[in-house]
A = this chain, B = another copy of it.
Amino acid sequence: MLANRARCGLADGMTDDTPIASPGRSVGVVKSHDVTLGVPLRLELGGTLPSLEFRYETYGVLNATRSNAVLIPHALSGDHHVAGKYSPEDAKPGWWDAFVGPGKMVDTDKFFVIGLNCLGGCRGSTGPLSNDPQTGKPYGGDFPEITCGDIVVAQRRLVEHLGIKKLHAIVGGSKGGMQALLWAADHAEAVDRVVTLACGLRQPPQALALNAIARASILADPRYRGGHYQTGEGPEDGLAVARMVGHVSYLSPAAFEKKFARETVPGAQPSDPVYWQIESYLRHQGDAFVRRFDANTLIRITRAVDRFDLTARAKAGKLFKPDGPAILAVAFSTDGLYPPSEVKAIAAAAGSRGTYFEVETDAGHDAFLLSNESLFAQVRGFLV
């Protein structure tokens, strides 16, 4: 058994020790909002959700013409808490605090920024932890399969609920970028500019393999029980290993070298379960993840991400409309999950409305969470 731990709703970010530098000012103390929209959602793969709950945050001010809204959909394990802190003493800001704020890459002096927990999530929006109205109990393992398309349809409902007919922009990294692309493809009339970071037109086979292992690890945990577990009694060990698998793909070999090399834990013995600093880091990431994430959500969301594939539509020339949103596709040179070759396919599919921008970095996939002035300048210019 891994270390003893309890699952609770701590609001930590996407990764648990990402170094965050904040060149601009902070959005300050923020709070999240909850809303329930009563219109049923028919899901792409079958089934209906009778209503949609959302947890979201906003930063900046919506202008009179309601034309300055920027949506920031989160990646696999992120949430609605994009920027700011919940109190002045809060040690940890939102997961993209370095990117969003007054004078920052997404400038809250200009834009009204929306962060929301996605459909299927476990941080306040409708997902496996929500009550199934048919049974009065949490859906758990009975939560229906969802697609990235469903997630985006749900997002659009919240955006419209906030009185916004057309977004100025969507800026999303990794799974957030996939959602941004679906806005551009299927909701082109509702968005003007799209920025994707560290994603491509599809889930590549190796990324799919890693998610398959993450799911297998959860399903192998005897406490998974078909997805019907009580909070704190779920498949925490399997979920921790699943997260460890993810983390190996978030860092590049060079980043592992730089961060840990072959350092050992001081005082550790060769027969100890945790001997290497890398081992300690991965265990820590796994344990921290279990405290804030739900196994059923990880299964549903990785399946949704794995199904994401716009390549056939792109090949047929039917993905993006000629008068659709402009698209900036950002690649990170050492991203092993969504390498530059995958990102270039986005810009190619967008034709004259597409721009490709590559950030030179040795940080791997996680580079989309790290401050980078050339990236900030590029995106700022694109959002004007």
Q: What is the interface of chain A, defined by CB distance below 8 A to chain B?
A: 1-2, 45, 145, 202-206, 208-210, 212-213, 215-217, 219-222, 237-238, 240-241, 244-245, 248, 251, 253, 256-257, 260-262, 270-271, 273, 275-276, 278-279, 282-283, 286, 303, 306-307, 309, 336, 339
Contact (Cβ within 8 A) B262 A145: no
Q: Give A259's nearest chain B residue, CB to CB.
A: B205
Contact A282 B212 (CB under 8 A): yes
Question: Across chains A and B, which 5 residue pairs bring their CB atoms closest together, nearest first?
Answer: A220-B237, A205-B256, A212-B279, A206-B253, A213-B244
18 intermolecular pairs with C-beta atoms under 8 Å apart: A2-B220, A204-B253, A205-B262, A206-B248, A206-B251, A208-B279, A209-B248, A209-B278, A209-B282, A210-B248, A212-B276, A213-B241, A216-B273, A216-B279, A216-B282, A221-B237, A222-B222, A253-B339
Bound: A273/B278 CA distance, A: 30
- Asked if A271 meets B241 with Cβ closer than 8 Å, knowing A202-B262, A278-B209, the reply is no
C-alpha spacing A282/B306, complex, angstroms: 15
Tell me the minimal C-beta distance from A3 to chain B in angstroms.
10
B241 close to A306 (CB less than 8 A): no
User: Given the complex of chains A and B, what is the CA–CA distance between A248 and B246 in angstroms?
Assistant: 12
**A162 CB, nearest partner CB in chain B, Å:** 31
A278 and B244 form a contact (CB under 8 A):
no
CB nearest neighbor in B for A307: B270
Interface majority SS (helix, strand, loop, mixed), chain A: helix
Q: Look across to chain B and name the residue whose beta carbon is closest to the beta carbon of A341.
A: B253
Chain B residues closer than 8 Å to A145, beta-carbon distance: 270-271
B222 pairs with A1, CB closer than 8 A: yes
Interface centre among A212, A219, A257, A278 (most CB of B within 10 A): A212
Query: Which residues of B lie under 8 Å from residue A256 when comparing CB positions?
Result: 204-206, 209
Q: A241 vs B336: C-alpha distance in the bound complex, in angstroms?
A: 21
A301 to chain B, nearest CB (A): 13
CA distance A206 to B257 in the complex (A): 8
